[in-house]
A and B are shown apart, each in its own frame.
Chain A
Amino acid sequence: EVRLVESGGGLAQPGGSLRLSCAASGFSFSNFEMNWVRQAPGKGLEWVSYISSSGSSIQYADSVKGRFSISRDNAENSLYLQLNSLRAEDTAVYYCAKVGTYDVYFDFWGQGTLVTVSS
């Protein structure tokens, strides 16, 4: 059974930092591309970042480019998102999502971790 479990969310001050983690199990993590997707309270889904299976290819949404950093540890079956220079508009539930077999759609999602940016 595929499982994705996010952690690391919480309250951060504007300008602060957080590091999100996603622990993967039930599939061959090193063979699959991964993503982070977020959802602000009461709003729709927003793609945040993508990383290839080896970590050699990375993409970011313009809204987070230069502030967020995605990485992965295939030996630990873990995905990460480093959030720096946080803004109020970064407040959201952050989901890690596994890419499907054939293309960049998301066939499995974690339960999400809430990041709140407020002073």
Chain B
Amino acid sequence: AIQLTQSPSSLSASAGDRVTITCRASQGITSGLAWYQQKAGKAPKLLIYDASNLESGVPSRFSGSGSGTDFTLTISTLQPEDFATYYCQQFNSFPVTFGGGTKVEIK
């Protein structure tokens, strides 16, 4: 199975900060990567698919980049509603796998 390693596992930031989360795959997955946001007690929400495509309705401050084994989710200007846990997911091959998550907390 393809393993996804997210870093950092948690971070503290202030509203207005630029935040970058990385996801590294144990083998190449071309652009078969998605990013999700999950708030406490809620279902995950799709942010980015195919590594860099912004899902409809998602604010443009979210962006994704990368291909192969190294991927990045960037929040350009952190908003109060962005404090949540973020997961990457690969769909290049079964079994589908998720990264361990990155919790973005208020500094």
Query: Taking beta carbons and an 8 Å cutoff, which residues of A are in contact with B?
Result: 35, 44-47, 50, 59, 61-62, 95, 100, 102-112
Q: Find B43's partner among A47, A59, A111 (CB 8 Å cutoff).
A: A111
Considering only CB atoms, which chain A residue lies closest to B49 in the complex? A105
Q: Find A44's partner among B46, B96, B100 (CB 8 Å cutoff).
A: B100
Number of residues on chain B facing chain A (CB within 8 A): 23
Q: How far is the CA of A80 from the CA of B89 in the complex (A)?
A: 23
Q: How far is the CA of A46 from the CA of B101 in the complex (A)?
A: 11
Query: Taking beta carbons and an 8 Å cutoff, which residues of B are in contact with A?
Result: 1, 32, 34, 36, 38, 43-46, 49-50, 55, 87, 89, 91, 94-101
Considering only CB atoms, which chain B residue lies closest to A65 in the complex? B95
Interface centre among B36, B87, B96 (most CB of A within 10 A): B96
A102 & B49 in contact (Cβ 8 Å cutoff) = yes
Q: Find B44's partner among A45, A50, A102, A103 (CB 8 Å cutoff).
A: A45
Given A61-B95, A103-B49, A109-B44, 9 new contacts (CB under 8 A): A47-B95, A47-B96, A62-B95, A95-B44, A103-B32, A105-B34, A106-B89, A108-B46, A109-B45
B91 & A104 in contact (Cβ 8 Å cutoff) = yes
Residues of B within 8 A of A45 (CB): 36, 38, 44, 87, 89, 98, 101
Q: How far is the CA of A45 from the CA of B87 in the complex (A)?
A: 8
